Amino acid sequence: NGLASEFGLADMWGMCRLLRIAPVSREMVLNYVSQHSLGLPKSY
């Protein structure tokens, strides 16, 4: 289906759901993206 792990959409779906239900700052979103998508170390 469209959320298959081959396309990476399943990971983004979880983050999108989190942003809708939890107040998260822009910096925390950028930290998550850099850690999980770019493979950078934690910055917090």
pLDDT tens figures, 1-44: 566 667 777 777 777 777 777 777 888 888 888 898 888 898 77
Q: 3 CB contacts (<8 Å, ≥6 apart)?
A: 9, 10, 13
Residues 6+ apart with CB under 8 A from 43: 31, 34, 35
Note the pLDDT of residue 1. Answer: 56
| Number of compact structural domains in the chain | 1
**The predicted structure's pLDDT at residue 2:** 62
Q: Which domain, by its residues, includes 24? A: 1-44
Handedness of CA 36, 39, 41, 43 (dihedral sign): negative
Smallest CA-to-CA distance from 22 within 30, 14, 31 is with 14
